């Protein structure tokens, strides 16, 4: 048995037959991490002792016959989700020594479910970035081609998943940070509906957009992991009072009766020909499986990048005001008075992309510019949301590319922030509207790089996304 | 020109960031190109449109005002750069 080949639902099966122990599985992963992580840099912190302790506890649970779906399953947690007693750095110099005295709701749920924490996954600093090059702990390499980025900001989670350095991972998605790296690394990434998963203990970037979600090797695992972390949480007043369905029930073959909207605004100049071909072929295959295709229009798509890069930095500039060197995190030593302490702590602590976004955000919220930028962007956000509301009157899900190209080269866009922002063109609108989206592999380019397709649905219809993604997985040629 | 060097300096101070000369120069250029791109939004007539600040129609989330357990002072202060008993220490203010 090749332990590293077993995904989350495979592990549940072999554990229930007691064919392998969680301790052996965990040790195998820790060895793989030791071998590969120095190169890939997918983990910032490896929690070896905790993992072995959790694995031993899982073993007892299994021997007693009390296991749940995640008992003894080794996971990676993006390093902006608070883990009690384990450094949570947000890939930032300003939080390098921050050890949360509490668990986020999702990490608490995973612990209760008996999961094993292998470590904290690398990311772009404070989740701001599309390439994982903006990490204070160095870039992550794409396991498919080490000269390329794994995507971002959940680059470490996606790379760890693709390189089989974990059985599955949690990421977070503010403008594509789960779906885009999943697309670039050939794994499954699901951004749930805003409010589906508690954000308590998720270090805030843009609070009206942030959502935690699973990054996994297959759709079944995504359904399992989403089910384990979803649900209302009194500690997050924006989490939704909505029952959590059994997502496993969505994983059935056949798409008859499903109306798939194809938005013409997502098949534009600048979309790589190979990506276009793989996505279109997948949509065609879905039609063969019984789905009905509907042409739809999302007319305000081209305004999503501009609206997003006003709203997200505005919220970030406000959220990141808390890093002032007083209560936690870095405090610069070279300060004689309070103002000097703020200035030097923040300037020494934040990297260039975070600094840039705080500057944009502070500017668009400042006196004299608020109406022209922030208010305007929030009005455009209404238009974008309305586009989706109209579209979902005509179709059940939307199918489109997740990125305009396959993974780009490390260094290619680092000096051109606007160009980097534009690479998020197909993922941002989803967060602005608050709807869920899933990225699932649908093909390989000639350079042997994964291509992803994205499905979108109306609020709280993750069941439909999982169904579409499951069928895609069954019929696509991706292996 | 959307934003000049003096304005970048002002915004940096508002954001409590101290930037070097070369950082200031680079940021002025980058912010100009980013903010010019944002002009695209002016193609749209948004007169009278409701601004959307949030993705869910939640306005107030009320709950009973009950005493619940919270972090003890020691845990709350466990990450403090400097502390004195149950207080955060900061440089002299007055």
pLDDT digits (tens, 9 = 90+) for A128-138: 999 999 999 99
- The CATH number covering residue A225 comes to 3.90.1300.10
A416 located within any domain: yes
CA atoms of A451 and A184, how far apart (whole Å): 7
Dump pLDDT digits (tens) for A255-306. Answer: 999 999 999 999 988 899 999 999 999 999 999 999 999 999 999 999 999 9
Q: Which of A219, A250, A281 is where one domain is finished?
A: A250
DSSP 3-state of A173: strand
CA atoms of A76 and A53, how far apart (whole Å): 16
B1-36 burial: b if 16+ Cβ within 10 Å, else e:
ebbeeebbeebbebbbbbbeeebeeebbebbeebbe
- The verdict on A285 and A145 lying in the same domain is no
CA of A332 to nearest chain B CA: how many angstroms apart?
A: 10
Dump pLDDT digits (tens) for A421-463. Answer: 888 999 999 999 999 999 999 999 999 999 999 999 999 999 9
CA atoms of B16 and A330, how far apart (whole Å): 15
Side-chain-side CA neighbours of A122 within 13 Å: the count stands at 31
Average pLDDT value for residue range B20-31: 95
CA atoms of A440 and A274, how far apart (whole Å): 16
Helix/strand/coil (H/E/C) assignment for every residue in A243-262: CCCCHHHHCCCCCCCCEEEE
Dump pLDDT digits (tens) for A41-75. Answer: 999 999 999 999 999 999 999 999 999 999 999 99
Average pLDDT value for residue range A390-397: 98
CA of A226 to nearest chain B CA: how many angstroms apart?
A: 20
Q: Which of A267, A242, A86, A78 is nearest to A174 (CA)?
A: A78
| B50, B53, B75 ranked by CB distance to A208: nearest | B53
Please list the residues that pair with A171 across neighbouring strands: A213
Average pLDDT value for residue range A74-101: 98
The tokens 């995973």 sit on which residue? A110
Kindly tell me if the per-residue pLDDT of B22 is higher than 70: yes
DSSP 3-state of A131: coil
CA atoms of A99 and A117, how far apart (whole Å): 15
**H/E element, A441:** strand A437-444
Q: From start to end of A156-305, where are the E strands? A: 168-173, 188-191, 211-216, 259-263, 292-296
ipTM of the complex: 0.96
Average pLDDT value for residue range A402-406: 96
Chain B residues with beta carbon closer than 8 angstroms to that of A325: 81
Burial class for A313, CB neighbours closer than 10 Å (0-12, 13-18, 19+): buried
Q: Which residue has the higher pLDDT, A447 or B92?
A: A447
> Tell me, what's the pLDDT at A230?
98
Q: Which of A250, A267, A283 is where one domain is finished?
A: A250
Residue length, chain B?
94
Mean pLDDT computed over every residue of chain A: 96
- The verdict on A327 and A230 lying in the same domain is no
Q: Please state which of the ranges A23-32, A154-163, A331-340 shows the lowest mean pLDDT.
A: A331-340
- The verdict on A158 and A273 lying in the same domain is no
| B8, B14, B52 ranked by CB distance to A378: nearest | B52
- The verdict on A348 and A399 lying in the same domain is no
Helix/strand/coil (H/E/C) assignment for every residue in B10-48: HHHHHCCCCCCHHHHHHHHHHHHHHHHHHHHHHHCCCCC
Pairing of strands A188-191, A259-263: unpaired
Q: Cα separations (Å) of A78 from A122, A171, A202?
A: 7, 5, 10
Chain A residues with beta carbon closer than 8 angstroms to that of B33: 418
- The verdict on A14 and A145 lying in the same domain is yes
Q: Which of A198, A262, A175, A231 is nearest to A456 (CA)?
A: A262
- The verdict on A109 and A131 lying in the same domain is yes
- The verdict on A30 and A104 lying in the same domain is yes
> Tell me, what's the pLDDT at B63?
86
> Tell me, what's the pLDDT at B56?
79
- The verdict on A397 and A367 lying in the same domain is no
> Tell me, what's the pLDDT at A269?
85
Count A/B contacts: CB-CB distance under 8 Å: 163
A467 located within any domain: no
Count of structural domains, chain A: 3
A477 located within any domain: no
Average pLDDT value for residue range A234-244: 94
Dump pLDDT digits (tens) for A193-224. Answer: 999 999 999 999 999 999 999 999 999 999 99
Chain A residues with beta carbon closer than 8 angstroms to that of B61: 237-238
Q: Which of A259, A258, A279 is nearest to A267 (CA)?
A: A279
Per-residue DSSP letter, A213: E
Task: Categorise residue A257: left if φ over 0, alpha if ψ from -120 to 50, beta otherwise.
Answer: left
A238 vs B76: CB contact, 8 Å cut-off? no
B68–chain A Cβ distance below 8 A for any pair = no
pLDDT band (50, 70, 90) for residue A477: low
pLDDT band (50, 70, 90) for residue B94: confident
> Tell me, what's the pLDDT at A273?
96
Chain B residues with beta carbon closer than 8 angstroms to that of A456: none
Which of 1.10.20.60, 3.40.640.10, 1.10.540.10, 3.30.465.10 would CATH assign to domain B1-40?
A: 1.10.20.60
A466 located within any domain: no
Tokens at residue A46, please?
């490896």
Tokens at residue A65, please?
């016959």
The residue segments making up the domain with residue A415 are 259-300+380-460
Kindly tell me if the per-residue pLDDT of A479 is higher than 70: no
A471 located within any domain: no
> Tell me, what's the pLDDT at B2?
86
- The verdict on A282 and A422 lying in the same domain is yes
- The verdict on A137 and A270 lying in the same domain is no
Domain edges within chain B: 1-40
Evaluated on CA atoms A139, A145, A151, A157, the torsion sign reads negative
- The verdict on A80 and A175 lying in the same domain is yes
- Residues with Cβ < 8 Å from A222, sequence gap 6 or more? A188, A189, A190, A214, A216, A438, A466, A469
Q: Which of B90, B92, B93, B94 to mutate to test the interface with A (most CBs of A within 10 A)?
A: B90
Cα B43 off chain centre by: 28
The tokens 């299994």 sit on which residue? A62
Nearest CA in chain A to B46: A379
CA atoms of A171 and A179, how far apart (whole Å): 9
Tokens at residue A314, please?
């505005």
- The verdict on A208 and A289 lying in the same domain is no
pLDDT band (50, 70, 90) for residue A95: very high
| Cβ proximity of A409 and A423 under 8 Å | no
Q: Which of A326, A354, A371 is where one domain is finished?
A: A371
> Tell me, what's the pLDDT at A474?
93
End-to-end CA distance of chain B: 41
Where are the alpha helices (H) located in A113-185, listed in sequence order?
155-162, 179-185
- Residues with Cβ < 8 Å from A35, sequence gap 6 or more? none
Query: Residues 22..41 of B with a Cβ closer than 8 Å to A: which?
Result: 23, 27, 30-31, 33-35, 37-38, 40-41
A412-421 burial: b if 16+ Cβ within 10 Å, else e:
bbbeebeebb
DSSP 3-state of A409: strand
Residue length, chain A?
479
């Amino acid at each position: 048995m090749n332990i590293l080949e077993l995904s989350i639902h495979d592990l549940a099966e072999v554990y229930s037959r007691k064919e392998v122990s969680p301790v052996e599985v965990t040790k195998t992963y820790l060895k793989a991490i030791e071998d590969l992580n120095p190169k890939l840099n997918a983990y910032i912190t490896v929690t070896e002792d905790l993992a072995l302790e959790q694995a031993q506890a899982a073993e007892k649970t299994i021997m007693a016959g009390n296991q749940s779906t995640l008992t003894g399953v080794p996971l990676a947690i993006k390093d902006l989700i608070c883990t009690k007693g384990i450094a949570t750095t947000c890939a930032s110099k300003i939080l390098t020594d921050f050890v949360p005295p509490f668990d986020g709701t999702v990490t608490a749920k995973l612990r209760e479910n008996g999961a094993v924490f292998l470590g904290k996954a690398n990311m772009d600093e404070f989740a701001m970035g599309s390439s994982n090059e903006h990490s204070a702990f160095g870039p992550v390499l794409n396991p498919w081609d080490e000269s390329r980025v794994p995507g971002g900001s959940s680059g470490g989670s996606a790379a760890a998943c693709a390189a089989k350095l974990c059985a599955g991972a949690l990421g977070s998605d503010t403008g594509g940070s789960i779906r885009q790296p999943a697309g670039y690394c050939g794994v499954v990434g699901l951004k749930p509906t805003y409010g589906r998963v508690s954000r308590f203990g998720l270090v805030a970037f843009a609070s009206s957009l942030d959502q935690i979600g699973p990054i996994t090797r297959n759709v079944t695992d995504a359904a399992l992991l989403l089910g384990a972390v979803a649900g209302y949480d009194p500690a997050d007043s924006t989490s939704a009072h909505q029952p959590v369905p059994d997502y496993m029930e969505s994983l059935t073959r056949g798409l008859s009766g499903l109306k798939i909207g194809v938005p013409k605004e997502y098949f534009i100049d600048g979309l790589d020909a190979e990506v276009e071909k793989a996505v279109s072929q997948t949509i065609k295959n879905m039609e063969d499986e019984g789905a009905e295709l509907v042409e739809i229009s999302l007319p305000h798509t081209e305004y999503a990048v501009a609206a997003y890069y006003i709203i997200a930095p505005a919220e970030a500039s406000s959220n990141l005001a808390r890093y002032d060197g007083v209560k936690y995190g870095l405090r610069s030593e070279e300060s004689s008075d309070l103002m000097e302490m703020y200035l030097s702590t923040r300037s020494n602590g934040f990297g260039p992309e975070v600094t840039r976004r705080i500057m944009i955000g502070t500017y668009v919220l400042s006196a004299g510019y608020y109406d022209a930028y922030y208010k305007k962007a929030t009005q455009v956000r209404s238009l974008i949301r309305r586009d989706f509301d109209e579209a979902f009157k005509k179709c059940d899900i939307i199918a489109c590319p997740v990125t305009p190209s396959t993974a780009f080269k490390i260094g290619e866009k680092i000096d051109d922030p606007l160009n980097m922002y534009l690479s998020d063109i197909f993922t941002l609108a989803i967060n602005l509207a608050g709807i869920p989206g899933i990225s699932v592999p649908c093909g390989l380019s000639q350079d042997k790089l994964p291509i992803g397709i994205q499905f979108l649905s109306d609020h709280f219809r993750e069941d439909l996304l999982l169904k579409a993604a499951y069928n895609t997985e069954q019929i696509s040629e991706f292996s | 020109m959307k934003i000049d060097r003096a304005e970048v300096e002002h915004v940096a101070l508002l954001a409590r960031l101290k930037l070097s000369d070369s950082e200031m120069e680079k940021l002025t250029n980058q912010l100009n190109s980013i903010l010019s791109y944002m002009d695209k939004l002016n193609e749209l007539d948004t007169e009278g449109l409701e601004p959307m600040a949030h993705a869910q129609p939640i306005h107030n989330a009320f709950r009973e005002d009950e005493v619940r357990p919270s972090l003890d002072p020691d845990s709350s202060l466990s990450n403090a750069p400097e502390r004195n008993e149950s207080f955060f220490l900061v440089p002299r203010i007055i």
